[in-house]
Amino acid sequence: MSCSMNGPAVYELPSAPASWRIALPHTAAAVPVARALVRTALTELDHGANCDTAELLTAELVANAVEHTTGETPIELVVELMPSGCQVEVHDTDPAPPGDLTCPAGGPPDPWQEHGRGLLLIRALSSSCGHRPTESGKAVWFRLSAVPAQRRRSV
């Protein structure tokens, strides 16, 4: 039996991966939109990854992309849901790596500073994270593992 990854067939096979790629404006307005999109994706498919953590880390990635890259080219949010968890990527046009995402420089950030804690949060709360070059710049990503249904608490 063949199955297309487009359309409703994704929902008929919960073990199949589902992915979304969405262009977002290169403004702060992209942050709440990205949060809502990730929450909707995880909730509608009753996915096991933690919605609150996914939302928080997505907001950090999008905010970093908006703040640390120039131009008006949209950034892209890519969300992939798999049985083992989810991966979120944010694509921008700046090829420079994202600061200390994988190799923290210096000591911990000053807790009184407004900036500098986003990448620390991503490193601390994700299963894994990193960045890679793309044809048009870079992608910064994180993964969250799914929690088995029997271990999830009902709200």
Question: Residue type for 76, please?
Answer: E
The reported pLDDT for the residue numbered 69 is 87
| CA atoms in the 13 A half-sphere facing the CB of 52 | 0
Question: Which residues are paired to 94 by β-bridges?
Answer: none
The reported pTM is 0.77
Residue type, 1: M
pLDDT tens string 3-24: 434 443 333 334 557 888 999 9
pLDDT score recorded for residue 103: 54
pLDDT digits (tens, 9 = 90+) for 40-88: 888 876 777 788 999 999 999 999 999 988 888 999 999 998 888 899 9
